[in-house]
Amino acid sequence: MAKKVLVTGGAGFIGSHTVDELIAQGYSVRVYDNLNLQVHGDRAEKPDFLHPDAEFIKGDVRDRDHLHQSIKDVDLIIHDAAEVGVGQSMYSIDQYISTNVQGTGVLWDILVNEKHNVEKVLVASSMSLYGEGCYHCEEHGKISPKPRPDSQLAEGQWEMLCPECASALSPLPTGEDKELDCTSVYAQSKKDQEVYSLMIGRAHNIPTVACRYFNCYGPRQSLNNPYTGAAAIFCSAIKNDTPPLIYEDGNQRRDFIHVKDLVRGKLLLLNQAEYGIFNIGTGKPSSILELAETLIELCGKTFHSDVIYKFRNGDIRDCYADISKISELGFEPKFTLKEGLKDLISWSDGQEAVSKVEDAHRQLVEKGLVLETQPVSSK
């Protein structure tokens, strides 16, 4: 008999692709999702892309009784349900802590205190836990610096500086053993989610794996949610003939991974890992500006990005994954960034895209979360 998997947040972007791959591998799947309005739109209906063979239950992870009923007969749990957004988390504080931390607490309270058949739990964690990534100084070697001070940012000096000699640092791959240094409410909520899950899972002999997602993009990522990933936000703006809005100078680097690659990594961990923490990324850095300009080019537009040289509170400069740990299990990303963005654009051609990034930026400014800097063009 096929094992049954509960996927919380399974109607969302990453969750729905996870459901597809689980069913392709012969699992029976139950989706538990509250159809968040910010993600699914005002009608909040079960999305057409959700696999027809997946059982669907509408519910909130904070609803103990409802979640308990959904867990009773499952063998495995993939916990993807979460509020996602660095900027928004800095003012919608209760919303993020309640869903991400309390919701995870409810899940584990059920697993510890009620009868069930759960053999393993996979928890969606995040690269945001790291804060700044790892860096190299020519004189002092490998460094894990603290966030850039406001005084430096106010002068438009974006690059990370060595705390010992103040020379510019070069980014290095960031491994799972790096000290965590959360710079947003979202990051802290994901850290709490991860720490509680690993601690409780080990204490109660329930194998638990934390998957630290890097910057995921691809089909089904909401084009109407201004707090989703950068690729979808930029794609939505471009489809509305609006230049993508970019903070700082655009040269900050991230690790962009196509959703299908990320899901293959997740299921590799579901099938092979028992306990532990694993990065899921590509191991290759790309700048935010490169991402935006590639999308503009692929969409056939002639404008350029709107680089505003301002700092958004909670942002970091550089972080990309060291994927050597998951690679030992056979993981290898397939999509180049350009191939993946072509896939995103191809899917987006049939989708409604309402760009709300200006509204989101205005909210951040009103909350005092955008730092004005000296006008610069070359720093």
Enumerate the active-site residues.
Answer: 186
* DSSP 8-state assignment for residue 147: P
**How far apart are the C-alpha atoms of 86 and 51, rounded to whole Å?**
29
| SS3 assignment, position 135 | strand
Residue 341 tokens read as 């963005």
Rounded to an integer, what distance in angstroms lies between the CA atom of residue 240 and that of residue 166? 42
Strand partners for 28 = 4
Place of tokens 């349900």: 81
Q: Phi/psi at 329 (nearest 5 deg)?
A: -90, 0
Q: Classify the C-alpha dihedral 127-75-108-274 as positive or negative.
A: negative
C-alpha dihedral sign at 209, 213, 219, 225: positive
E strand or H helix that includes residue 344: helix 337-348
Provide the sign of the torsion angle of the four alpha carbons 83, 85, 89, 91, taken in this order: negative
Sorted by sequence, the CB contacts under 8 Å of residue 312 that are 6+ apart come out as: 86, 87, 247, 364, 369, 370, 371
165 Cβ partners below 8 Å, 6+ apart? 137, 139, 140
**Whole-angstrom distance, CA of residue 84 vs CA of residue 101:** 13
H/E stretch holding 136 reads strand 134-137
CA 15-246-312 angle, to 5 degrees, is 80
